[in-house]
Amino acid sequence: MNSGSNLLDQVRKEKLFYALVFQLNKDFERAGLEAEFDTAFENQQLLRNLQAALYNLVVSDFESYLTLLYAIDVSEAKIKALPDCEVHQLAEFVSVLILEREFKKVQFKNRTL
């Protein structure tokens, strides 16, 4: 699995950061959750905010967490393959899976035919 920082570096390299943040906000809203992500964020700030949002969901509203994963279309197999770990580590792992999925979506939408 990619690290979140490396993945976001790649997103910026492909000039898709704005599209990724837009997609992330859109999917959070689709799941009925407030989005807190801004295109002005640095990579680490976006990653920290996403991890914090996931941590809070897992701890306080697990059903909404599952709804979010469904709305984003994170692979259930990848979620099940994650190691047993503390909630903060789970949030880190899942944030990378979410960013990977959102990146694939924006790459597909922005590809040239």
Give the DSSP per-residue string, 40-98.
Answer: T--HHHHHHHHHHHHHHHHHH-HHHHHHHHHHHT--HHHHHTSPP--HHHHHHHHHHHH
pLDDT of res. 2: 61
The parts of the chain modelled with pLDDT lower than 70 are 1-2, 112-113
DSSP tag of 33: -
Alpha carbon 54 to its chain's center: 9
Q: Domain range holding 11?
A: 4-110
pLDDT of res. 89: 96
Predicted structure pTM score: 0.93
pLDDT of res. 54: 97
> In percent, how much of the chain has pLDDT > 90?
89
Domain count, the chain: 1
Give the mean pLDDT of the chain: 94
